[in-house]
Amino acid sequence: MSIRYNEKDQTITLLTRSAAYQMQIVPPGYLLHLYYGRRTEGDLSYLYLDHDCGFSPNPWERQDQRGWSLDTLPQEYAGSLGGDFRTPCLELSTDRGIRGADLRYAGHTVTAGKYALSGLPAAWAREGEAETLTVTLADAASGLQAELLYAVFEERDLICRALRLKNTGDQSIRLEKAASVCLDLPFGDWDWIHFSGRHTMERRPERRRLLEGLQGVGSLRGASGHQANPFVILCDREAGEEQGDCYGMMLLYSGSFLAQLEKDQMGAVRLTAGIQPELFSWRLEPGESFETPEALLCFSPEGLGGLSRRYHRFLRQNVCRGYWAERPRPVVLNSWEACYFDVDEERVLALARQAGDLGADVLVLDDGWFGNRRDDHRALGDWTPNPERFPHGLGWLARKVRELGPGFGLWLEPEMVSPDSALYRAHPDWALTVPGRPPTLGRNQLVLDLGREEVQNWIYDTVAGILRSADISYIKWDMNRELTDVYSRALPPDRQGECVHRYYRGLYSLMERLCRDFPRVLFEGCAGGGGRFDAGILAYFPQIWTSDNTDPVARLGIQEGTGYGYPLSAMAAHVSASPNHQTGRSTPLGTRAMAAMTGAFGYELDPGKLTETERQEIRRQIARWRELESLPRTGELYRLSRPEDPFAAWQLVSTDGGESLLTVCMRAVESNPRPLWLRLRGLRGEGRYRIEWQERAGCLEELSELPEREYAGSALLYAGLTLPPLRGDYPAMQLLLQRTDDNE
């Protein structure tokens, strides 16, 4: 059993393969958090000694025990205004003016399988894979009942958490904050890592020492955002890639979020995360319920790399769903950097002919195909082919493209509307705008109010109609602005704080319907590139456009940061033209391909501008990718370099340790360089491996071959491997390791 209740000690313990998580019910009905860390046994309440900290108040029932205070004890889920002055998880008010919540234990149940959430993305479990603990807490004054939901995936080393709130009283309750997760860690010296950035420079890891006081990261943008990500790591000060204790918290949510860490007066740390309260309120009438987004908690005693690999496995196998979740992804040629808005039948068919000649699986027609869409000032919402550019329609075009070899894909941005569009002229009230105030434009567009059922139905009917009209195998679903003017004309004044969360519930409902009705279509998420790269999207769309930045050297850092939490199979990564249109940097075609082979592989260039030598090279790249694609899709990732190194090196290892791909790309070339020495990981120490040159690019001189010999796995793991220094313009190389013994 992964969930154990000890009636004598009043402890509840959650067990995974590597970790134990323990809470305790104590008089007068409080639920304390005792421990989360390396797997252990027994009652751990002995860790907490009563002591008077001074000016830390005591519950009425313990008024004679000045050393017993909610202000200093670890809470499983912290209420507010009850004597705990640290960051609360729950803030509310009632129609009678009652504020705060004093949450007391009211019971718990253990059931087989995983709990379900209504209208929100959530992990899923196979039979026998998970158990659910439901702990009920209640606040007598407000009538609020809180169900703490825990799903324990023992073999996956992961715990899912969410909160279900019920109004069991006779007065209306206004929720002003409802965090999904609370984790109190009373002891330790910690660093914390979050992933910051900006458009085209997303998810750069920022590691800081956790100091006393309140720290955190979040988004006020109506989306998880380019600037932050709903994933944070808490790790011990000495933790590295393969050693040290690390805790991860990842939200399955695509809207505005807040993750906070507070180190209190006694050195204890509280981590809370959930919906951003600055943009949130929710009215609960008697008898109504509210569920928070799900959080994925993971503990790794094997450093940051171990944490990453646990999340990768779980997201691939228990969050991603449907036909494409674990299948090889098609090699895409996208039209954007080849044509931008300048597309028509002739140009698309020329691209299709070239894509088929190169060996690409799908041609994706990006922006510019619909309405009067000559630029980004108009026509979003008018999702019918431009009759001058595409007189024969999408069905005819898709057939012609397929006759030339590749399948047909399409770019859409269905959440948005241009003021200059037939849709906006017909339904101006469908856009998020504030009455009496000029709206704020982003990329010359407004946001549709997806919280409205009629808007959801219109988008569904429009997208479903497009998919039924043509043989379309791939949809790139974009969102090119954040949410401003957050006001819904479908909500009364006292419920406007529900607007953003209702937007995402509407979006998830829409995604659910489309994925259900068109299971063979591969949907790729996008938000100006990587502005909504989160586990909430991955619950519906199995891959996301990682960044609008297609420069391979810049992509090294973006993809590395993304890979701390998200699997490589989720990262759409393309080879673009050189010089790169964002940075102006020139890089070898082979280096561009090696960087892109970290994720879901494709191309973002005009084949008509390639030389015959380059076309031959791309044919070879695609053929090689098909031989290797199972490694980034299902293998284990090991980061072998540090962000400050002049090179990036990573290793992908098959789950059985029989095959490994080592990639090294230079970020900067040094004079008189040192040899590249790398200690490999993930191999079987008792095995023997043959190393082959798989690829090299941009090298000033021909690299010498490695000796024709076999290497002991233990030698590569402990003594390492020395590679020749790379000189030239952003050179790169790949090595393929194959186990040669009998694999017993």
What is the per-residue pLDDT across 254-299, written as a single tens digit (0 to 9) for each? 999 999 999 999 999 999 999 999 989 999 999 999 999 999 999 9
pLDDT of 744 higher than 80: no
Phi/psi of residue 675, nearest 5 degrees: -60, 155
Bridge-based pairing of strands 474-477 and 407-412 is: parallel
* 34: in domain: yes
One-letter amino acid for residue 95 of the chain: D
Q: How much is the pLDDT for 583? A: 94
- CA–CA separation, 167 and 287 (whole Å): 5
Tens-place pLDDT, residues 626-668: 999 999 999 999 999 998 899 999 999 999 999 999 999 999 9
Residue 98 pLDDT: 94
Residues 285 and 341 in one domain: no
Burial group, residue 174, by CB count within 10 angstroms (0-12, 13-18, 19+):
middle
Does residue 483 fall inside a structural domain? yes
Query: Is there a catalytic annotation at residue 548?
Result: yes
The string of pLDDT tens digits covering residues 223-250 is 999 999 999 999 999 999 999 999 999 9
Q: Give 448's DSSP letter.
A: B
Nearest alpha-carbon partner for 127 in 109, 110, 111, 114: 114
Task: Please indicate, yes or no, whether residues 308 and 352 belong to a single structural domain of this protein.
Answer: no
Condensed to tens digits (0 to 9), the pLDDT of residues 131-164 reads: 999 999 999 999 999 999 999 999 999 999 999 9
d(CA 383, CA 418): 12
* Residue 604 resides in a domain: yes
Say what the pLDDT of residue 635 is.
97
Phi, psi for 85 (deg, rounded to 5): -90, 5
Kindly state whether residues 612 and 716 are assigned to the same domain: no
Residue 435 clears pLDDT 60, i.e. is over it = yes
- Whether 388 has a pLDDT exceeding 70, the answer reads yes
Same-domain pairing of 645 and 616: no
Sorting pLDDT into bands at 50, 70 and 90, what band is 704? low
**Binning pLDDT at 50, 70 and 90, where does residue 623 land?**
very high
- Residue 360 and residue 266 in one domain: no
On the question of pLDDT at 13 being above 70, the answer is yes
On whether residue 342 sits in a domain, the answer given is yes
The CA-atom distances, in angstroms, between 292 and each of 147, 177, 260, 354, 404 are: 11, 10, 16, 48, 48
Same-domain check for residues 171 and 249: yes
Pair 602, 649 in one domain: no
Domain boundary among 631, 652, 675: 631
Q: Is a pLDDT exceeding 80 seen at residue 702?
A: no
- Kindly write down the DSSP assignment for every residue of 462-496, as one continuous string: HHHHHHHHS---EEEE---S---S---TTS-GGGG
CA distances from 496 to 472, 483, 700 (A): 38, 14, 61
Crossing angle for the helix pair 345-358 and 393-403, to the nearest 10 degrees: 30
* Among 161, 194, 171, 167, CA closest to 274: 161
The count of structural domains within the chain is 3
Residue 401 and residue 350 share a domain: yes
- Residue 272 in contact with residue 178, Cβ under 8 Å? no
Tokens standing for 329? 């992804």
Q: Confirm whether 619 is domain-assigned.
A: yes
Q: What is the mean pLDDT of residues 366-388?
A: 97
pLDDT tier for residue 692 given thresholds of 50, 70 and 90:
confident
Of the two residues 51 and 382, the one the predictor is more confident about is 382
Give yes or no: residues 283 and 255 share one domain. Answer: yes
Mean pLDDT of 458-466: 98
Q: Are residues 658 and 605 in the same domain?
A: no
Token pair 């001189």 in the structure block, residue = 701
CATH number, domain with residue 314: 2.70.98.60
CA distance 412 to 36: 44
Examine the pLDDT at 444 and tell me if it is beyond 90.
yes
Q: Which of 584, 614, 631 is the last residue of a domain?
A: 631
Share of the chain above pLDDT 90, in %: 90
**Which residue in 548, 551, 656, 741 is the catalytic one?**
548
651 in the same domain as 570: no
Answer whether residue 154 is part of any domain.
yes
Max Cα-Cα span within the chain: 86
CB 376 within 8 A of CB 422: no
Check if the beta carbon of residue 130 is closer than 8 Å to that of residue 117.
no
- Which residue, of 284, 319, 354, is where some domain finishes? 319
Q: Is residue 59 part of a domain?
A: no
What distance in Å separates the CA atoms of residue 525 and residue 537, rounded to the nearest whole number?
7
Does 744 map to a domain?
A: no
Write down the mean pLDDT value for the chain: 95
Q: How far apart are CA 101 and CA 138, in angstroms?
A: 9
Cβ 204 vs Cβ 229: under 8 Å = no
What does residue 319 show for φ and ψ, rounded to 5 degrees? -115, -55
Determine which one of 264, 478, 534, 551 is catalytic. Answer: 478
Residue linked to tokens 């072998």: 640
Q: What CATH number is associated with residue 485?
A: 3.20.20.70
Reduced to 3 DSSP states, what percent helix, strand and coil does the chain have, rounded to the nearest 5?
Answer: 20, 35, 45
Give 344-365 pLDDT, tens digit per residue: 999 999 999 999 999 999 999 9
pLDDT for the residue 672 = 86
Average pLDDT value for residue range 330-338: 96
What lies within 8 Å, CB to CB, of 723 at 6+ separation is 664, 675, 676, 677, 678, 733, 735
Cα 474 to Cα 361, 364, 598, distances in angstroms: 11, 7, 20
* Distance, CA of 99 to CA of 671 (rounded, Å): 65
The sign of the CA dihedral 392, 398, 402, 408 is positive
Distance CA(312)–CA(565), nearest Å, equals: 7
- The confidence score (pLDDT) of residue 703 equals 65
pLDDT for the residue 594: 97
Over residues 73-100, the mean pLDDT reads 94
Reply yes or no on whether the pLDDT at 405 is more than 70: yes
Q: How far apart are CA 736 and CA 364, in angstroms?
A: 31
- The per-residue DSSP string of 657-721 comes to SSEEEEEEEESS--SSPPPEEE---SS-TTSEEEEEEEEEEEESSPPPPPPS-EEEHHIIIII-E
pLDDT number for residue 58: 86
CB 278: neighbour CB atoms within 10 A? Answer: 12
Reduce the DSSP state of residue 184 to 3 states and report it. Answer: strand
- Told to judge if 461 belongs to the known catalytic residues of this protein, a careful annotator would answer no
pLDDT of res. 707:
67
Domain range for 724 is 638-739
Domain with residue 726: its CATH number is 2.60.40.1180
The identity of residue 403, as a single letter, is: E
CA distance 173 to 169: 9
Shared domain check, 185 and 80 = yes
Please check the confidence at residue 725 and state whether its pLDDT lies above 90: no
- Burial group, residue 95, by CB count within 10 angstroms (0-12, 13-18, 19+): exposed
